[in-house]
Structure 1
């Protein structure tokens, strides 16, 4: 039996946990199995329940699985609804209907907030249901013997599937691909990514809203479709219903496409999403004064003298107000418009998010490695910036457990100068209508892109190092929203040792590219990354190879070593210049293609009045003097959709 190794049917005692009800309730304990790990559910659905079934075969495969593992009778369960919980005895199972045949336990045990659920009332309710209850409404009563472990697990898998995986429209999907690969795996991964705080809360909220909208529209679509008479399709009422049904169908398909983007980790990574910050600026202090906030790790007389000489005395005046704080987060939270925060050397560990909505200056007193702010605790971001003019300098930021990134610029302009950013997820995100100026800084370690640039934003990168990230710079796009192209300036940056590409651009595919995809029988979203010959990556030589090459050069042409090194240096400089020029040209060309696609979409919608600035605007690009080295897939890639 292929199911003998799953569960504990042959074991002398249970391996599952138990859930104890409230002390005031007489209901028995139930199996606690709703905290299964990802791989446990993955293995169950792939190997035992669904296999390679099609969407139309899902219910049949689940029924076959239940017939093999469910105990046919002789076990108890708690029947749970929003109104009551009652103890029942299972006397049979109807696997094809995913139901159990039950009767009320003796003695009768029921928990409810309404005293109307008496024994007579519950018996009448069961008779109306013909004593058959959906399996996902039953929680198996705990049993130490292990005899009902597989039954409890099987019901949990069915319950989880219909709560978190199955969609009402799945059965009407095409059966070209197996259901597990197309739907179950991405939705299961998304569920656990959300549980483990790997998806931003804003995106989770978007997904739930889209799912609710899609379910509501799909129900309307079914009602309209069912109202169309099959034998009178040429009538006026039938034609009106058909037109309405087609509109609803298009809306449902559009929402389903958005849901699939969020469910797919790669698409979730490359596409942007709207995030509406709720940060409220305080404005100026009621007294009109500006305050300098000082955060000392340990305040000494000598440190105070140095602060007065370097930071306080040059701006000293009779009414200068200085406030001292124990940690940087408290200092930032106390700021009003125009305030300044000076952080003295030290290693500060904060549990929280820096929400900066006013124009303030935040600077470290010393070198970045001497002024370290480290995040602990979970949260979407480390720094959220929406002030009109924020300046952050001379700091080292160390990120832990942030879901979305180390710094998120929502609105206004943020200047980052002479900073070190040690990331764990995404590095910096520059959202639509926001502006970032990053200068003389070092960013590394991001599991996503070092810098994410949204449409309609402005990003200037000068003399920075961006390395050891998944991608160096990712120019994002929206799946179906139209915004102006971003303004990008990249000058004299060192982008190296990233896992993927140095720079990645996400843009819509042109019709000719889509035709090529159709010729290759690619359906749905068309994706590929292209790399130009001049931007291809060259791997760094190994230490031994480098020494051998140098030694060989000395032996072969001892008098020409200097000339040869000079030629290599010139060749490398020429190659980097060509890479910068080509990346700039490709970005401009991609921006022009995006504008053409946008114009064509508007013309198809018969929209004649458009924003001339938006329509004429192409991506402003200045790419000069950057060095791209040892990026895993190359210097530049394009992601088409």
Structure 2
């Protein structure tokens, strides 16, 4: 968003800033970090009076029963430095949502706006820079296991190594495979750490007289131990990867392996995934495969997930009619083909991932003739780059969730959907600025919004139905100004938007309308005290409505993109 104050800093800039924050001589353990931050922010962060965008994290959106992502404009009433939080009042919301008037919000979730009320004397460059430092620190440099060991000097042993790792990832110095593995480890660790904190609270309330089975008094205790073991495993691996010398050895080894693979690899490999069955079922499966690839060599693979982790460029993975599972940390996909053999509804990919089921990072990917069940995931498919093609696929989400997303296309990426069915998501498809979508002969239904489109995403719709949406079939987020009578209506409104083209699109039973054009309303107010409706010092709601639990909010970890 162009209205927020943002920064692009080098490793050296970051290091110098953090040396200012942690200027205390002697060892600095993890438990002292927040206290040092509080001291620093008292000197650099305005205590109140400034406006910011609050990017509400997914878990908070779920708790408030609002769509994700949700961004609101807030006014800071008071900064609570020791908690690294602020008491805020909501000034404006972008979506049709209803929220309590006041909230306690972690400072890291606030993004100061460039424009402010001109009657208030503020040092916004200092405030925005301090928040940028804080946010970067807790998102990219603090690890889940740091809190487990308070005996080490955190600054001396972790700061520079983790800064170097982050910038090596960002600048593309680490090979793609190793970088993706690091991202996967960190995302898994943070997800497990969130579960660990919840389980600790549950286990503390357990009755000590509970009968012990298999060495554990309760399933939650057993799960907590399993999570701790896995976190230790990730910590040990990351300890090696954070070290410059160790990381270089791993990179050299991987580069040598990739050169060997490139020399020995000719045609793409065709992998068959058939879990179990009687002889006739095997024969039928192989007969269909023979019809698809009559003169090609094929190989049976152990299972779907292990093959995803080891697939090479241009490989083809053929799935039989059964349920193929994606593990809890999701799957990273790039540059190969996944194809179901048989009936689409019978070839099922079941995601057990809490966050993203399929994370597409390659130049191309083809998924064909499968049902992707993502009812346990927060997002079915993220397309970060390249082109992803889905043919004759069904993508299913959790209809009860207010935050579950279907297909998310980032800027610069492209998706082609043909003869697909998407249902059960808060937002079926989200297309960001600079992305491209082709949708033909598809059905999008039983979602909150069918499609959410941002300015300058190129979209073509043909022979497509969008129906039974709880909100709108299509919502368009824009900074452009359109006549007021075009804000809500049928699909003819789309003719007014240059980056959207369509042929034969139908809507039915979309609760609030087929199309809504929603102009960005999150602009800083320059006359707060002239308008009683905007005056942040006038609070009409009771304190009982105020959200006061900071433990329910987590830091979300964005992926570090390599150049």
Q: What is the TM-score with the length of structure 1 in the denominator? A: 0.43
Question: Larger C-alpha radius of gyration, 1 or 2?
Answer: 1
Q: What is the TM-score with the length of structure 2 in the denominator? A: 0.49
